[in-house]
Structure 1
């Protein structure tokens, strides 16, 4: 029998905080009790939370291309990515793998297969410290997106499909000037090239988007895979997502869309970088404003893994709410959204021992340990 005892921690239970003791036995939570015992690891009053659960991160892409024009060896990049996550307290992750892109010659047009293969191989061989799943991000205006997605619908790690449409003038970039500013800055495109680029994007949307949406929705239904909409900007976008059977509304860009998604029963996912920075880099709705209106269910670290933990402490401070409530954005709620809450996402007897300990100095919360399935990994 393998047993660990964590005592004198502020245990963040589903409905309350308890200064007490948590016992892990053979990789699972075996006991939770108030009070301090004389044996085990003494937390000196630090926080003990469930491991964080991430549904949408592009961090693997960043590890593969740490600078423009640089392509890091994928076997190393996927391990770097995993270590970034586990050191950020993320014990379960849906790696967002993009199929298709708005930019010609983008790595996203070709990298999806080696990325998925690298994740699968590392997961199977035990090279990862976090538990990795696959989230297919499907660009609707990419002609071959459905054929490619269909190849992976029976993949053992696939947990989520999102449908995206980054055509200029709607959703993430309702304002063309914001779209132009973003892509000219990101890719070094001239004004003339940008004009042609926007024209081509709109043409491709007209040709492929609707057909691809219907096919992807059918795939998700047939295989019982959780579906997410992406960058909903209007009530009509949300109605379409509801009709498609979506469970999650990722990054709604307006208050109207977030309100409609919430009222329709979709789980609203927002970015924790937006929250930490105090606003959206695309000029869209502030995540904090939606949190204040109780219109957010899930937070995603998106492109900054360490922002996930920080965001729940920011919300706790600004909203004067306890951590056991604000942590639901990054623990229980995402676990429920992809059908994993029976095994993780809360501190409850019988669940796997994915836990993190955190010291908060009132400035930036600091992870002091990460445990997955009862084994300390960071």
Structure 2
């Protein structure tokens, strides 16, 4: 049986142009790119659909959503992981970094169990060959949490670890830099105003005691290692400058334009959320990703919490930020692959992995028709 596959009559989204053409896949890699149609026996006619590289997602919380599909209804861990895998595969995500939270600030203690179970399941399911997409590990480290560092010491040597991000969800900084918005959110969720005020004061004290020592310990742990570091919810250009000086190369979900501009000036890759683009703004009241993109301040799109939003977000960059289609697609393929040091994927080029997604437009919206990982059909 031949290990060759011919995909023809496709609009190939290459790094610098869209080419009507044909791909020859061999041994799990892209062997040849040629313009025009192929008459080879057995060639698969893609009927003029787009063909893009497999999507590389640097951050998704989707596993948490499968573990807890409804409040108080915790799903069996391995079953939840397989459901998550199926969802990212049909969304065209062939490489996914499962973002697991280390450390609890009293928002959701069950996340710590999800992290422990998730690391275990990722290793076991990968070894079994049961997963459609390639899953890697992104550890999200809550710096003010008293239990973050012990968990990090437990997982920092995991062979699937590919990214670490530094977070601080204390009200008054980062995502919750608007403390009044945080207060309103908690009261709307059923908390008493006086309890919210007590909690804000407690978290401020905890941050003062633990955030800085935990930050230094984390940076020491990863100094000299080939694990990319990111910060989460940057809000202050001075903080961004400090992060860059410490060797942190990515700014994930900056909450305002000054922080994103500072990250760009420091040479950091800026990561925006796909749901922010698709919904037309941030769910938490921070800067709109479209505004960042219009200033040329978006390098990478991450799914955040909706994997199917990735490809639609790349398409929206063309309409809303004036990007070319190859540049928009690069934010979900080539750029994240490069930032993670995954140089064998992310572009349609000879010699690279045959991770590919077939797309058909419906009312201007891209719809996934087929997905290949390493030349094998997975969706």
TM-score (norm 1): 0.97
Match 2:66 to one of 63, 66, 70? 63
Q: Helix, strand or coil for the counterpart of 2:117?
A: helix
Could you tell me which residue of structure 2 aligns to residue 12 of structure 1?
Answer: 13
| Counterparts of 1:276 and 1:376, CA distance in 2 | 27
Structure 2 vs 1, CA of residues 183 and 91 (structure 1 numbering), >3 Å: closer, same or farther?
Answer: farther
Could you tell me which residue of structure 2 aligns to residue 311 of structure 1?
Answer: 313
Q: Helix, strand or coil for the counterpart of 2:208?
A: helix
Could you tell me which residue of structure 2 aligns to residue 48 of structure 1?
Answer: 51
| Counterparts of 1:336 and 1:100, CA distance in 2 | 29
| Counterparts of 2:190 and 2:45, CA distance in 1 | 53
- 2:97 maps to 1:100: no
| Counterparts of 1:125 and 1:83, CA distance in 2 | 16
Q: Helix, strand or coil for the counterpart of 1:317?
A: helix
Measured after TM superposition, the shift of residue 99 of structure 1 is 0.4
| Counterparts of 2:330 and 2:91, CA distance in 1 | 17
Q: 2:137·2:161 contact (CA, 8 Å) conserved in 1?
A: yes
Match 1:287 to one of 286, 289, 306? 289
Query: Number of residue pairs matched?
Result: 376
| Counterparts of 1:8 and 1:114, CA distance in 2 | 44
Q: 1:20·1:36 contact (CA, 8 Å) conserved in 2?
A: yes
Q: Helix, strand or coil for the counterpart of 2:9?
A: strand
Deviates more, 1:56-65 or 1:108-117: 108-117
Q: 1:160·1:338 contact (CA, 8 Å) conserved in 2?
A: yes
| Counterparts of 2:25 and 2:319, CA distance in 1 | 30
Could you tell me which residue of structure 2 aligns to residue 374 of structure 1?
Answer: 375
Q: Deviations over 1:274-327 (max 9, x none)?
A: 111111111111100010000110001101111101001111123443321210
| Counterparts of 1:317 and 1:233, CA distance in 2 | 27
Match 2:125 to one of 122, 125, 130? 122
Measured after TM superposition, the shift of residue 213 of structure 1 is 0.5
Deviates more, 1:354-363 or 1:205-214: 354-363
TM-score (norm 2): 0.96
Q: Deviations over 1:132-154 (max 9, x none)?
A: 00000000011131222122222
Deviates more, 1:89-98 or 1:111-120: 111-120
Q: 2:104·2:148 contact (CA, 8 Å) conserved in 1?
A: no
Measured after TM superposition, the shift of residue 130 of structure 1 is 0.5
Q: 1:184·1:194 contact (CA, 8 Å) conserved in 2?
A: yes
Q: Which runs of 5+ in 2 are unaligned?
A: none
Q: Which runs of 5+ in 1 are unaligned?
A: none
| Counterparts of 2:25 and 2:107, CA distance in 1 | 51
Measured after TM superposition, the shift of residue 179 of structure 1 is 1.1
Q: 1:94·1:134 contact (CA, 8 Å) conserved in 2?
A: yes
- 2:235 maps to 1:241: no
Q: Deviations over 1:309-368 (max 9, x none)?
A: 10011111234433212101100010011100x210000111111000000123421100
Match 1:78 to one of 76, 81, 94? 81
Q: 2:103·2:151 contact (CA, 8 Å) conserved in 1?
A: no
Q: 1:50·1:331 contact (CA, 8 Å) conserved in 2?
A: yes
Cα RMSD (Å) of the superposition?
1.3
Could you tell me which residue of structure 1 aligns to residue 24 of structure 2?
Answer: 23
Match 2:173 to one of 150, 170, 175? 170
Q: Deviations over 1:219-252 (max 9, x none)?
A: 1214331100111101111012112211110000
- 2:165 maps to 1:155: no
Q: Helix, strand or coil for the counterpart of 1:112?
A: helix
Match 1:226 to one of 228, 252, 260? 228
Q: 2:22·2:36 contact (CA, 8 Å) conserved in 1?
A: yes
| Counterparts of 2:213 and 2:145, CA distance in 1 | 11
| Counterparts of 2:150 and 2:348, CA distance in 1 | 41
